[in-house]
Structure 1
Amino acid sequence: MLDLLERELIPPTPPVYGLLFEHALGVSQVTSAVVDGAMRQSERTGRPLGQVLLEAVPGTGASAASLRLAEEPAVQLDRLGTSIDAASTSAGGHREALLATQRALRDPAGSRGTLRDVVRSAAAQHDTLIRAKGLLRSALAAARAELAATREQLAQAARDSQLDPVTGLPNRLGAEDVLLSTVDEAHKGGDGFTLVLVDIDRFKVLNDTYGHQAGDCLLREVGRALTSSVRSGEKVFRIGGDEYAAIVHDTHGAKLEGTAERLRRSVADIDLARCMGDAVVGNVTVSLGLAVFRASDSFTSLFERADSALYRAKHAGRNRWMVAD
């Protein structure tokens, strides 16, 4: 600001300083518009900015008294005080330095040297504030980025907690969340559905005979077979050691029977040699229990009915499906 005063022959009076101070801080749109307009006119006409500014703003004239920093009208100093207050509020923590500037400007015994020191001090304080503001912005940006990363980690942990690590299917927790919301929607008039529970027949024997690695391979193969057999919008879950669940759209008649048979046969078609070795002959089978949603069903009662149907399928000889009453 000091260089501007000297270069453009602008008298360093309190009104002029206040005007340029308001413009530099951006606390007054009106003041900034006046100064910007004067700068543009100076560039167009080649006239010194000081001359254009003195003509544009009454009360900033370069009289002998103003050059000696004689007292100016109180209203000019009050306006400067308001600008200082606004700057202090936005800067946060430099109010005393700005008030010292105001007191120096009120001193009618001041000189050009005094004003030079005041301007330099204010400029230094302004630079400090700008740097502090930049540091604060950087710190806030870093904090926001860290918060976003933490939120994403928590969201990923929540997603992982509902996934089975062996098959990649939603686990029992995920199945319960989906089934609860599906039951709630059905109670509100949504579409009906059927809960299917699937259990691998004699899985423990296979797992104990061929090892856990072969057993995990078979669990993945069954998961893929069931998933490939359901339609868009239908879901498959692994809810236990050798147990799966599915939510399907069909609810009665031949369509429901066709869905149950399609699920059973998809597992029967698995080539055991892929998991147990070429010496293994035969296939793996599953038993299924189906429960069609009823208006009187809760999450618990629906699950219990499907489980009861699965139990009956097991005791009827396995490798079959049963529909709950």
Structure 2
Amino acid sequence: MAMRYEQSKEESGELLRLAIPRMARHPAAFSPLSYAVWYEYLAGINRELAEALDAAEADRRPLDDQAVAQLYRSHIEGPQAAVVNRLESGFDGILKNLGAYAAEFGSQASRYDDSLGEAGRKLGEGIDAAGIAELVHRLVEETRSMRGSVTEMEGRLKSSRGEMEGLRQKLASAREEALTDALTGLRNRRGFDLAAADILAGADGAARKCSMLMVDIDHFKRVNDTYGHLFGDKVIRSVGQVLAGCAREQDVVARTGGEEFALLLPASALAVAESLAETVRRRVEQGRIRRLGSEEAIGGITVSLGAAQRLPEEPIERLMGRADEALYASKRAGRNRVSTDRGGPRASAA
């Protein structure tokens, strides 16, 4: 299971230092719940919680213990579980309603069928003109009633289809959130693994001829130590934005952990991966990132990259391993460069 918090001891210490004055502004006790709320807010890993807290501070609403507990329950304790519970409840309600509709319609249809059978028997026994007129009038009324029931049933089914589609969209949104890295908005490792498995399971050229890039921010610990861990988070987000901007629509981009990223390039020769890697490297090197609460823009951020092309029937783990080896070759050669694993005998060995 993926850890909820990936911050180091030093990062956590800085977040604690920043959280205490925030907590002191409000009447809520210095409780673990209150600390968790402000920790996730300051770490920038919980967008919905941040929006709720920003709104509370904008309205100058003091946060007491009850308000903090509500924020914790709504945005930390189990938003995914809450979504699942709502979806289950929604589906259950729709199914129950459809069952009631079907039973009611079935009863109406049975009564109509009985009426038709009775009319047939009476006609078979022979009746006079007045009786026929009365029978026809009654059948017309019951047919009109049955038509109304059919129309109502169609409306209820249409409404239920709309509700089901809404729930389907919420389910898709919940699934996407579970596969997304909160800090960068890219796929997380699980999201990457699932997307890669889908691509490699395909029978087309996308699977047979795909390439991989591994990316790591250079001297990231030094960046954190010099400018602070919140600036380090901003660096991670900025590099993620560069990667997303350079990738093509079919490429899979993910933050796989810490300051590390991966890109899977379907139907792409090694030369394509090398070209894209160089574009990423150059854009990161040329970028400048503004410090929080300051006009100062910091440059000199660089990344090292490793590229590899998939060998026949090669598992994704081995492909990532070769790209990672190429990445560390870039590190050893001085960083801020692209290195390539060309799949020699060592890499292709079992």
Give the TM-score, by structure 1 length: 0.58
C-alpha separation between the residues in 2 aligned to 1:279 and 1:226? 24
Instruction: Tell me which of 279, 283, 286 is aligned to 1:269.
Output: 286
What do you get for the CA RMSD once the two structures are aligned?
A: 3.6
Matches within 5 A, 1:301-320: 301-320=318-337
Instruction: Tell me which of 302, 317, 320 is aligned to 1:285.
Output: 302
8 Å contact 2:291–2:297 — kept in the other structure?
A: no
Instruction: Tell me which of 173, 176, 179 is aligned to 2:193.
Output: 176
Instruction: Tell me which of 235, 251, 258 is aligned to 2:270.
Output: 251
C-alpha separation between the residues in 1 aligned to 2:206 and 2:251? 18
- Helix, strand or coil for the counterpart of 1:236? strand
- Helix, strand or coil for the counterpart of 2:223? helix
Q: 1:229-287 CA distances to partner (integer Å, 9 max, x unpaired)? A: 456755533222211112353425xx765544332222111213355844465421222
- Helix, strand or coil for the counterpart of 1:214? helix
C-alpha separation between the residues in 1 aligned to 2:206 and 2:255? 28
Instruction: Tell me which of 158, 161, 170 is aligned to 1:153.
Output: 170
The aligned counterpart of 2:117 is 99
Higher Cα radius of gyration: 1
- 1:321 paired with 2:338, answer yes
Matches within 5 A, 1:58-207: 91-108=109-126, 110-184=127-201, 192-207=209-224
- Helix, strand or coil for the counterpart of 2:111? coil
C-alpha separation between the residues in 1 aligned to 2:124 and 2:296? 103
Q: Report deviation, 1:209.
A: 5.7
**Against the structure 1 CA distance between its residues 208 and 144, is the aligned structure 2 distance closer, same or farther, given a 3 Å change threshold?**
farther
8 Å contact 1:197–1:243 — kept in the other structure?
A: yes
**Against the structure 1 CA distance between its residues 317 and 154, is the aligned structure 2 distance closer, same or farther, given a 3 Å change threshold?**
same
**Against the structure 1 CA distance between its residues 126 and 180, is the aligned structure 2 distance closer, same or farther, given a 3 Å change threshold?**
closer
Q: Report deviation, 1:222.
A: 0.8
**Against the structure 1 CA distance between its residues 217 and 148, is the aligned structure 2 distance closer, same or farther, given a 3 Å change threshold?**
same
The aligned counterpart of 2:10 is none
Percent identity reads 31
8 Å contact 1:164–1:171 — kept in the other structure?
A: yes
C-alpha separation between the residues in 1 aligned to 2:260 and 2:142? 71
Structure 1 gap ranges (5+): 1-87
C-alpha separation between the residues in 2 aligned to 1:152 and 1:244? 28
C-alpha separation between the residues in 2 aligned to 1:138 and 1:93? 21
- 1:215 paired with 2:225, answer no
Q: Report deviation, 1:295.
A: 2.3
- Helix, strand or coil for the counterpart of 1:94? helix
- Helix, strand or coil for the counterpart of 1:198? strand
**Against the structure 1 CA distance between its residues 318 and 141, is the aligned structure 2 distance closer, same or farther, given a 3 Å change threshold?**
same
Q: 1:189-242 CA distances to partner (integer Å, 9 max, x unpaired)? A: 966343111011233453466555433332221122234445675553322221
C-alpha separation between the residues in 1 aligned to 2:293 and 2:158? 55
Instruction: Tell me which of 311, 317, 325 is aligned to 1:294.
Output: 311
8 Å contact 1:288–1:313 — kept in the other structure?
A: yes
8 Å contact 1:226–1:266 — kept in the other structure?
A: no
Structure 2 gap ranges (5+): 1-105, 345-350
